[in-house]
Amino acid sequence: MAARLGEVSAPARVAGPEEGVTVEELALAARNHGLPLEALRYDVTPPGLHYVLTHYDIPAADPDTWRLTVRGEVREPLTLDLDALRARPAVTRRVTMECAGNGRALLSPRPVSQPWLVEAVGTAEWTGVPLRALLAEAGVRPAAVEAVFTGADHGVERGVEQDYRRGLPLAVAAGDDPGVLVAYAMNGAPLPPQHGHPLRLVVPGWYGMAHVKWLRDITLADRPFTGFQQTTAYRLRQSPEEPGEPVTRIAPRALLLPPGFPDFMSRVRVVRPGEVRLEGRAWSGHAPVARVEVSTDGGAGWQDAELDPPDAAHPWAWRRWRHRWTAAPGRHVLSARATDGQGHTQPLDQPWNRGGFAVNLVQRVEVHCLDGAAGEPEGS
Ligand SMILES: Nc1nc2c(c(=O)[nH]1)N[C@H]1C(S)=C(S)[C@@H](COP(=O)(O)O)O[C@H]1N2
Ligand SMILES: [Mo]
């Protein structure tokens, strides 16, 4: 197999100093879309606007014949169809999910992969069965240390043919904080194909790679999982040789709802002089966001934004923030910076790693404020 896959086994690559985004990166960007940033206005992202990241193809899935197996280091292996899962006590959790590669394309040098800027995020209400209930039912044996989750999608990555598969430490999988879900509904409707129909894992607070879509098997293992998506991909490394640290929980980030209106090609924002109400969202996978600061002068000065009160019902969902700004004619750079309840915050200088993971560099939004004498817009 390795020989046949030779031509698609190129190692992970970092772009050259002058190298623009390649056609391969464009092909990924055309398949995997981000959140249109104006959709930050919704508490819960409407279906279709939530970001999407799929390594391989969206697999064909027949909900009538779908089975989830729970096996390995358990006393009572389970084989469950969707009716059996829907018959169990369900919970709904509002969860902000972010791709671990969000921000990658802004790095210099640029790790070559899905070229996200800042938009790989969304918030959904996921309904399903708590994983800990299924594990309790199966009776996890003392030898188990990890749960390994397998999706029905299949592909090849850097020469390794594989099903999409990820492990979670048993303490996370079977714990009630963050309360992992085996979800069959998103925003009250069956999962859409691109989000894992008919079943997916939801791991509140963790980057997207942990939320295995098209979930078909859970195997309890007596040793840590060492598959591709665990030990080759999703590691924080400076050089390809080092084993690196695993990517786990979401680092804090704040984003602005884009103010004013955009220029079509550059996406630069245009506003009129006077009071502009700035607003956005902020989140962290470690602890709820405790503070958001705003800068309207490119990061020189910072002021506290007004944060929506904490929402105990939704500890894993983003929080809204607001700030009033008086815009004067000229060019401005707006930024927002989140700090969570454990003191994690966002850097102003880029943190770099070879995969471009967990990059939470402060966003910079370029705004052109017209002078008061600007003409009426065409068509108004
Ligand atoms: N089976 C499977 N699960 C997967 C993936 C995948 O390619 N296959 N991609 C992961 C990654 S990298 C992310 S960021 C999230 C994206 O979830 P979404 O497309 O529902 O937003 O799914 C994760 N789960
Ligand atoms: Mo991702």
**Pocket flag, ligand 1, residue 213 (CB < 6 Å):** yes
**Pocket flag, ligand 1, residue 233 (CB < 6 Å):** no
Which of 350 and 30 is assigned the larger pLDDT? 30
Tens of pLDDT, residue by residue over 223-267, are: 999 999 999 999 999 999 999 999 999 999 999 999 999 999 999
**Nearest CA residue ID for atom 13, ligand 1:** 208
Q: Is the pLDDT of residue 139 over 80?
A: yes
Other Cβ atoms within 10 Å of 365 Cβ, number: 22
Tens of pLDDT, residue by residue over 309-322, are: 989 999 999 999 99
Q: Is the pLDDT of residue 374 over 70?
A: no
What three-state secondary structure class fits 181?
strand
Q: Is residue 55 within 8 Å of residue 155, measured between CB atoms?
A: yes
Q: Which residues pair with 290 in a beta bridge?
A: none
The stretch 156-173 carries a mean pLDDT of 97
**Nearest CA residue ID for atom 15, ligand 1:** 208
The stretch 305-334 carries a mean pLDDT of 97
**Nearest CA residue ID for atom 20, ligand 1:** 195
How high is the pLDDT of residue 350? Answer: 86
The stretch 86-102 carries a mean pLDDT of 98
* Comma-separated ranges of CATH 2.60.40.650 domains in the chain: 253-369
Q: Is the pLDDT of residue 6 over 80?
A: no
Q: Is the pLDDT of residue 146 over 90?
A: yes
**Nearest CA residue ID for atom 9, ligand 1:** 54
* Residue 364 to residue 299: CA distance in whole angstroms: 9
Q: Which fold has domain 2-246?
A: Sulfite Oxidase; Chain A, domain 2 (3.90.420)
Q: Is the pLDDT of residue 1 over 50?
A: no
* Residue 125 to residue 183: CA distance in whole angstroms: 10
How high is the pLDDT of residue 3? Answer: 46
How high is the pLDDT of residue 380? Answer: 52
What three-state secondary structure class fits 215?
strand
* Residue 207 to residue 102: CA distance in whole angstroms: 10
4 pLDDT tier (thresholds 50, 70, 90):
low
How high is the pLDDT of residue 269? Answer: 98
Q: Is the pLDDT of residue 8 over 80?
A: no
Mean pLDDT of the chain: 95
- Identify the residue whose tokens are 């103010």: 259
Query: Exposure string (b/e) for 280-311, b if CB count within 10 Å is 16 or more?
Result: bbbbbbbbbbbbbbbbbeeeeeeeebebeeee
What three-state secondary structure class fits 266?
coil
Q: Is residue 195 within 8 Å of residue 221, measured between CB atoms?
A: no
* Residue 39 to residue 120: CA distance in whole angstroms: 12
Tens of pLDDT, residue by residue over 276-290, are: 999 999 999 999 999
The stretch 144-156 carries a mean pLDDT of 98
CATH 2.60.40.650 is held by the domain 253-369: yes
Q: Is residue 230 within 8 Å of residue 167, measured between CB atoms?
A: yes
Ligand 1 atom closest to the Cα of residue 52 is 19
**Nearest CA residue ID for atom 18, ligand 1:** 52
Q: What is residue 6's DSSP assignment?
A: G
- Identify the residue whose tokens are 């992970």: 12
Q: Is the pLDDT of residue 5 over 90?
A: no
* Comma-separated ranges of CATH 3.90.420.10 domains in the chain: 2-246
- CA torsion angle 190 195 197 203 (round to 10): -90
Ligand 1 atom closest to the Cα of residue 215 is 1
Tens of pLDDT, residue by residue over 10-32, are: 678 999 999 999 999 999 999 99
Q: Is the peptide bond before 243 cis (omega within 30 degrees of 0)?
A: no
DSSP string, 53-75: --SS-PPP--TTT--EEEEESBS
Q: What distance in angstroms lies between residue 213's CA and the mean position of ligand 1's atoms?
A: 6
How high is the pLDDT of residue 225? Answer: 97
* Residue 47 to residue 79: CA distance in whole angstroms: 30
**Pocket flag, ligand 1, residue 54 (CB < 6 Å):** yes
**Pocket flag, ligand 1, residue 153 (CB < 6 Å):** yes
Tens of pLDDT, residue by residue over 175-214, are: 988 899 999 999 999 999 999 999 999 999 999 999 999 9
Nearest Cα to Cα of residue 318 among 347, 361, 292, 284? 284
